[in-house]
Amino acid sequence: MTDIFTTLSGVWMGRYDYGEGLFPVSFEAILQEEAGALSGEITEPNTFRSDMGSDLIARLAGTRHGHDVSFRKTYAGFDQGDDPVYEGVLNGALTRIDGVWRFADHPEWSGAFMMVRAVRAKAGERAAMEVAL
């Protein structure tokens, strides 16, 4: 049985790329959507602030209009002066977002991102998949 989603609310796994041969950064996002307004929290490994510990936490705020998604990511605990903006497109099942991120004040700092909904299989479905393998 396939889940049918009508909002983006839930847990998402993703990654963003810096480009130019640098390693992508993975993240987990917990999204809440209400009447097209998005809010949530992102947790990612710390790849650029040695004074902040091993993980960074960020708040997100944005919108969804049909299959278009956009949000601003604001890191907790420090002000970097310019927050990254993410703009992407949802697939028809509302289970994947692909797009680009950028800084408004520094458009040369940008890259691709993707997010997929973390769907948990029911116990019976997991058992059936394990037997099939």
Instruction: Read off the pLDDT of residues 40-77 as tens digits, 9 standing for 90 and up.
Output: 999 999 998 989 999 999 999 999 999 999 999 999 99
| Average pLDDT of every residue of the chain | 88
Question: Are 53 and 31 a contacting pair, CB within 8 Å?
Answer: no
Stated pTM of the model: 0.85
Q: Give 24's contacts (C-beta < 8 A, 6+ positions apart).
A: 15, 16, 17, 18
* Low-confidence residues in the chain, pLDDT < 70: 1-2, 120-133
- Phi first, then psi, for residue 130 (nearest 5°) are -65, -40
- HEC per residue, 76-113: CCCCCCCCEEEEEEECCCCCEEEEEEEECCCCCCEEEE
For residue 133, the one-letter residue type is L
